[in-house]
Each structure stands twice: as C-alpha cells, then as structure tokens.
Structure 1
C-alpha cells in the first residue's frame, strides 16, 4: 500500500496516533522515574548511564511529539526537506521519521 493511501486512511492514522500517545505516556513516565531517581550513588559509571538514559528518553519524547504534531497538522508522511512522500515502509519502521532516506543522509552529514 502506498503512503498516500495509508496516510489518507483515517483508521491507520488513528491507530498510529494512539500508539504514539501510548509511547509518549511510557516515555514520560520513564523520564519522571529517571529524574526522581537522581540520587548520587558516588559511582561515576552509574551517573553516566543515568545521564545517557535521560538524553535518550527526552529525545524519544521530542520525536513522538513531533510525529503527533505532524499528524495533527496534516504534514505527516511528507519529507521536511523535499516534501516528497516518505515510503510507508520507513514510517512503519520509524514512525517519527521527518525525512526520506536520501534527505536524511544529507541531513546527517
């Protein structure tokens, strides 16, 4: 099924929105837990792990929020650089994708 048909399928978008909302709730709870467990154990390795988990969790929340915003404003599934449709397979694997693969590769350089 092409992206255009999938994005136009309101049922598919509703399911995606619900899944992303669940992921958002999970990541928000994780962030809350990580920030509440901010006790200094005196172990530099543990502090480093905690900091890395906080960074990853915050990034996940930002990515999920971005995808939800794009669904709401009708731009979900369009590459932010070239405006071409992002392949459905990419969005299935990476629901928060903002760029098609060629533009993502250019963006990473």
Structure 2
C-alpha cells in the first residue's frame, strides 16, 4: 500500500495540518529553550523540551512518509493503516495490532 490508498484532497489537508503543527512545535521549543533564569523550572523545562522534540521528530517522520509515498503503511507488517486511525493519530507508524506488539 501507499498514499494511493487515500484521496489526494485528504493528503493535502493532512500535509498542511502537519506542517502547521511542526511550525507550532518549533516555536514552542524556541520558547522553552529560552533561559528563564529560574533554576526551579529547569527540571520541568527539560521534560517539556524532550516531549516537544519527540513530537517534532514524529511530525517530521510523518511528513517524510507523505513525501516518499509510504504514508499510511504500517512499518512493521506493511498493511495499510486505517484512515480512521490516521485521522486521530496522523503520526501513527503502525497499525493497531502491530502497535500493541510494539508496546509489549
């Protein structure tokens, strides 16, 4: 399967949504990495920075899959990830059964 499984209008809208989210997360990361001077916030900021970077990595990977035509293919078994799952979790890399195996 590939992006041929999904209609182009939806993929175009999805690309725009992911791009917007990437920009928002990048702005958030910039704000988080600004030195507030408060050592009490350092631990919380470190956790927020890590979570934001992880989100950026997932969004970037989804955009790469869209560009390569492999978006929506389960990275484990290769079957098409249902559109309903991608609408809820656009960065999904696995179908539900493979995600459950991945989580253990």
Q: CA RMSD in A?
A: 1.5
Matches within 5 A, 1:31-70: 31-36=29-34, 38-43=35-40, 46-70=41-65
Task: Answer yes or no: is 1:104 the counterpart of 2:99.
Answer: yes
Structure with more contact order per residue of length (Cα contacts < 8 Å, sep ≥ 6): 2
Deviation at 1:18, TM superposition (A): 0.4
* Structure 1 portions without partners, runs of 5+: none
Q: Distance in 1 between matches of 2:102 and 2:96?
A: 10
The SS at the match of 1:14 is helix
Is the contact between residue 4 and residue 85 of structure 1 (CA under 8 Å) also seen in structure 2?
Answer: no
The reply on whether 1:92 has 2:87 as its aligned counterpart is yes
Structure 1 length-normalised TM: 0.87
Deviation at 1:27, TM superposition (A): 0.3
Matches of residues 9-28 of structure 1 in structure 2 within 5 Å?
Answer: 9-28=7-26
4+ aligned runs moved over 4 Å, structure 1: none
TM-score w.r.t. the length of structure 2 is: 0.91
The gaps in structure 2 that reach 5 residues or longer are none
Give the 3-state SS of the residue equivalent to 1:81 in structure 2: coil
